[in-house]
């Protein structure tokens, strides 16, 4: 157990070590008492503070001051906050805990030692209350809270439909553990404990979720350091913990992390240098290599540089990062803006009839116009600043997972006509010896997904002993394959022998793929209208070159795709350039070009609904910007 934890902590340096973090204290929130940001509500930070004397609650964790749930209004940025104000109006309450707000149904999940449901005993419980636009409804007990155990720190993720919380309920490993349960209508599935690689005999508290990954604090994984922050990745089914790096963790107690987006958020900690107690810090994450921004914007209207136009630049959180006017030469310096983040540039002061002929140019430090941006009818455009030397980054390779991996998605179903409610049910893939290879847990409706699997001819799904599932339904390449469950097992024959392509992978294992399997190379960006491979893309292609050198009878087709922005013809050209850049790189690694075919697909195969005219985030567009590799056996040429 201890050896495995050490391995996971070392692996975290590979996962997180490519980034650097900066922390700034949020002075508008911090005082000599405790402040802890636990989430957001309509873009406003939610926090708990213990600035009132507790005269009624003698609960052991809260003997001197009571905590109240508050909300702060935001100014231009998340450092520009108002004095926090009490959120809930319930009279006499002096023991509110952390909360999680679900904007989809205006429901707030919060913990409290109050007895709204007339229960007896001084225990923590989780409640819900709903905002109707004017007032909060009467608190309702979350039905998971049973017996005399404590239930606290709820975090509901509406995308996953799952509630994470801390509890010392029966079945844990001691102290407060992390648990989770799926919501199904008005009901909840039986709580699931992620296991002993997450929970310990100490306390695991304050869960939060970002991009489906679970974050929490523990004083039992590394007890000598007090409370430290950890991450459990969804692709590992939240079954193992990775320590977050410094400065997210410190020599003090670091108790909660809340992400605002992929790169920013709040950390609550009693680290040295604060005002006292737990203070709130705003953190920012960036590539250590992306600190320098050499760019200037030039505004051109009707073919002439345009002075005195107002420019406002905001990030994905709608924070105002820069406001200014173009100078006499139509220029505005943007060196203070972050790199590799989605930005929105809004321009005002341009005659409406000239918007169609308005162009923003991105100019480098040498005066070269390196990108052309055209405003939409509303007068704004999205921008991401990328450096020219991005492709030269030296990154730490992650060798823990083979480049050759596949995903399997499916669903459990009962007998014909039987209603099905199986969220949180474990499904295990076992090898020929019956040993577990991977574990997944069902979501609402019995759905499941395995990622990062080694390609094989067949897979054996093992269900729990008391499972009521009669069938396992697998969705593969647009097909729906129904597998019968016999003796709590179902066998999925993924490939027939004649269609299987045998490949020796990086670990000297023989795996089997088909000509329909696609393997994705991520993060290929464009500069100067041509395809540029990033350091991360090169890492993946280095593995591919090794595989092709090891398996000399194989050939590949390289298929590149764009998002929907831009014309069909331009996107087709860009995608072809991207595919050819992959061939150029592999050729430089001594791979015979005759073994490779480049195919640009443009925007013809989008993975989502981000089509022309649709409103999508930069992240949604990025899903479509990809390069796929298809293997071709000697007989297939």
Six token digits for residue 362: 């991105």
The reply to whether 276 falls in a domain is: no
Sign of the Cα pseudo-torsion (190, 196, 198, 200, in order) = positive
274 lies in a domain?
A: no
Inside any domain, residue 9: no
Q: Do 102 and 232 share a structural domain?
A: yes
More confident residue, 119 or 576: 576
Over range 578-603, report the average pLDDT: 91
For the cut 80, the answer to whether the pLDDT of residue 597 exceeds it is: yes
Name the DSSP letter for residue 84.
P
Structure tokens at 547: 């595989």
- Rounded distance, CA 120 to CA 129, Å? 21
Range with lowest mean pLDDT among 97-101, 281-285, 322-326, 526-530 = 526-530
> Between residues 566 and 603, which one has the greater pLDDT?
603
- Tokens coding 633: 């056996």
Cα separation, 256 vs 154, whole angstroms: 12
Whether residue 494 is found in the same domain as residue 534: no
Q: Is the pLDDT of residue 64 over 70?
A: no
Residue 95 burial (CB count, 10 A): 20
Which among 114, 91, 89, 87 has a CA at the least distance from the CA of 99? Answer: 87
| Domain shared by 154 and 174, yes or no | yes
CA 161, CA 445: separation in Å to the nearest integer? 11
Distance CA 260, CA 447 (A): 28
Which among 388, 296, 381 has a CA at the least distance from the CA of 336?
A: 296
- The arithmetic mean of pLDDT across residues 456-460, rounded, is 91
Here the tokens at position 588 are 């430089």
Considering the domain architecture, whether residues 632 and 552 belong to the same structural domain is answered as yes
Q: Give residue for tokens 């923003």.
A: 360
Output phi, psi for 428, to 5 deg: -120, 130
Higher pLDDT, 5 or 118: 118
**Contact of 59 with 95, CB cutoff 8 Å:** yes
Which of 353, 386, 419 delimits the end of a domain?
386
User: Residue 9, class by beta-carbon neighbours within 10 Å (0-12 exposed, 13-18 middle, 19+ buried)?
Assistant: middle
pLDDT at 272 over 60: yes
Residues 628 and 545: their CA atoms lie apart, in Å, by 15
State the average pLDDT over residues 578-589.
91
Count CB-CB contacts under 10 A for residue 221: 21
Nearest to 543 by CA among 507, 491, 578: 507
Residue 16 lies in a domain: no
**pLDDT value, residue 461:** 94
In terms of Cα–Cα distance, which of 438, 436, 339 is closest to 387?
339
Helix (H) or strand (E) holding 44: strand 44-53
Pairing assessment for the beta strands 555-560 and 596-600 based on DSSP bridges: parallel
Residue 435 backbone phi and psi in degrees, to 5:
-85, 140
Domain boundary among 250, 277, 312: 250
Domain that holds residue 444: 406-498
Q: What predicted TM-score, i.e. pTM, was given to this entire model?
A: 0.58
413 in the same domain as 528: no
Tokens of 431: 């090898």
Q: What is the pLDDT of residues 483-516, one digit of tens each?
A: 999 999 999 998 887 778 999 887 788 889 888 8
Taking the CB of residue 508, how many other CB atoms lie within 10 A of it? 7
What is the structure's pLDDT at 397? 35
pLDDT of residue 538: 79
Please check whether residues 75 and 202 belong to one and the same domain. Answer: yes
> The dihedral of CA 241, 225, 279, 79: what is its sign?
negative
- Residue 192 domain-assigned? yes
If you average pLDDT over residues 181-202, what whole number do you get?
A: 86
- C-beta separation of 201 from 220 below 8 A: yes
CA 523, distance to chain mean position in Å, is: 16
Q: For residue 596, what are its two tokens?
A: 């490779």
Q: Are residues 570 and 442 in the same domain?
A: no
Domain count, the chain: 4
* Helix residue ranges per DSSP H, 479-556: 535-550
Does residue 120 surpass a pLDDT of 80?
Answer: no
Residue 19 is predicted with a pLDDT of: 57
Distance from C-alpha of 129 to C-alpha of 99, rounded to nearest angstrom: 11
CATH number, domain with residue 97: 2.120.10
Q: Is residue 2 part of a domain?
A: no
> Higher pLDDT residue, 215 or 1?
215
How sure is the predictor about 9, in pLDDT bands with cuts at 50, 70 and 90? Answer: very low
Tokens standing for residue 275: 């005002």
Judgement on whether residues 576 and 493 belong to the same structural domain of the protein: no
- SS3 label, residue 493: strand
Beta bridge partners of 430: 436, 460
Tens of pLDDT along 18-60?
Answer: 457 889 999 999 998 889 999 999 889 999 988 654 333 333 4
Same domain, 561 and 577: yes
CATH of the domain at 632: 3.30.1330.60
CATH number of 481's domain: 2.60.40
Instruction: Please tell me the distance from the alpha carbon of residue 402 to that of residue 379, in angstroms, as a whole number.
Output: 46
- Report the percentage of the chain scoring pLDDT > 70: 83
Q: Is the pLDDT of residue 354 over 80?
A: yes
Closest by Cα among 118, 6, 136, 140 to 71: 136
Pair (461, 542) in one structural domain = no
The answer to whether residues 200 and 221 touch, using CB atoms and an 8 Å cutoff, is yes
* Together in a domain, 478 and 515: no
pLDDT value at 547 more than 50? yes
Whether 112 and 130 share a structural domain: yes
Please indicate, yes or no, if residue 284 is contained in any of the structural domains.
Answer: no
Specify the higher pLDDT residue, 497 or 70: 70
Q: Which residue in 274, 540, 497 sits closest to 401, CA to CA?
A: 540
**What is the number of other CB atoms lying within 10 angstroms of the CB of residue 323?**
12
Which is more confident, 452 or 141?
Answer: 141
Overall average pLDDT of the 404-429 stretch: 79
Single residue among 235, 250, 265 that ends a domain in this structure: 250
67-76, 251-260, 386-395, 524-533: least confidently modelled range? 386-395
Asked if residue 399 belongs to a domain, the reply is no
């Amino acid at each position: 157990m201890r050896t495995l934890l050490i391995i996971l902590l070392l692996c975290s340096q590979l996962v997180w070590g490519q980034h650097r973090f900066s922390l700034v204290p949020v002075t508008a929130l911090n005082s000599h008492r405790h402040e802890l940001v636990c989430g957001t509500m309509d873009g406003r930070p939610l926090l708990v503070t213990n600035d009132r004397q507790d005269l009624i609650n003698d609960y052991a964790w809260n003997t001197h001051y009571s905590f109240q749930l508050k909300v702060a209004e935001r100014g231009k940025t998340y450092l520009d906050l108002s004095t926090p104000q009490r959120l809930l109006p319930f009279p006499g309450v002096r023991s509110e805990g952390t909360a999680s707000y679900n904007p989809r149904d205006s429901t707030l999940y919060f913990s409290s030692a109050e007895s709204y449901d007339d229960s007896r005993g001084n225990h923590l419980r989780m409640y819900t209350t709903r905002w109707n636009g004017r007032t909060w409804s009467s608190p309702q007990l979350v039905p998971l809270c049973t017996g005399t155990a404590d239930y606290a720190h709820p975090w509901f993720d509406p995308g996953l439909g799952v509630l994470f919380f801390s509890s010392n309920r029966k079945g844990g490993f001691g102290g407060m553990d992390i648990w989770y349960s799926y919501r199904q209508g008005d009901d909840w599935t039986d709580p699931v404990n992620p296991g002993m690689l997450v929970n310990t005999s100490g306390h695991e508290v304050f869960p939060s979720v970002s991009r489906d990954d679970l974050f929490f604090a523990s004083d039992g994984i590394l007890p000598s350091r007090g409370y430290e922050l950890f991450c459990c990745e969804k692709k590992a089914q939240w079954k193992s913990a990775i320590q977050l790096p410094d400065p997210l963790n410190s020599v003090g107690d670091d108790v909660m992390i809340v992400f605002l987006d992929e790169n920013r958020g709040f950390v609550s900690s009693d680290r040295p240098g604060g005002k006292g107690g737990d203070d709130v810090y705003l953190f920012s994450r960036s590539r250590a290599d992306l600190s320098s921004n050499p760019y200037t914007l030039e505004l051109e209207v009707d073919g002439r540089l345009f002075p005195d136009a107002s420019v406002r630049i905001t990030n994905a959180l709608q924070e105002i990062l820069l406001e200014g006017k173009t100078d006499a030469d139509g220029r505005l310096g943007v060196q203070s803006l972050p790199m590799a983040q989605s930005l929105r540039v809004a321009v005002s002061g341009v005659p409406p009839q000239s918007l169609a002929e308005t162009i923003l140019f991105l100019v480098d430090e040498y005066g070269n116009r390196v990108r052309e941006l055209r405003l939409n009818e509303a007068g704004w455009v999205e921008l991401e600043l990328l450096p020219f030397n991005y492709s030269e980054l030296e990154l730490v390779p992650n060798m823990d997972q083979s480049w050759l991996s596949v995903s399997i998605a499916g669903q459990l179903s009962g007998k014909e006509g039987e209603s099905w409610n199986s969220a949180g049910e474990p499904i295990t893939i076992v090898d020929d010896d019956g040993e577990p290879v991977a574990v997944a847990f069902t979501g609402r409706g019995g759905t499941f997904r395995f990622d990062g699997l080694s390609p094989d001819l067949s897979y054996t799904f093992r269900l729990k002993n008391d499972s009521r599932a009669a069938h396992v339904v697998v969705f593969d390449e647009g097909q729906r394959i129904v597998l019968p469950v016999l003796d709590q097992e179902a066998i999925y024959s993924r490939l027939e022998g004649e269609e299987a392509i045998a490949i020796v992978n990086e670990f000297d294992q023989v795996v089997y793929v088909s000509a329909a399997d696609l393997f994705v190379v991520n993060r290929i960006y464009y500069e100067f209208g041509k395809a540029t491979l990033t350091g991360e893309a090169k890492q993946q292609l280095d593995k591919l070159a090794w595989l092709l050198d090891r398996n000399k009878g194989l050939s590949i087709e390289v298929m590149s795709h764009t998002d929907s922005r831009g014309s069909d013809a331009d996107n087709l050209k860009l995608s072809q350039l991207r595919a050819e850049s992959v061939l150029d790189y592999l050729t430089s690694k001594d791979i015979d070009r005759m073994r490779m075919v480049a195919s640009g697909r443009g925007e013809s195969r989008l993975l989502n609904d981000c089509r022309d005219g649709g409103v999508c985030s930069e992240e949604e567009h990025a899903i479509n910007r990809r390069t796929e590799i298809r293997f071709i056996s000697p007989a297939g040429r």
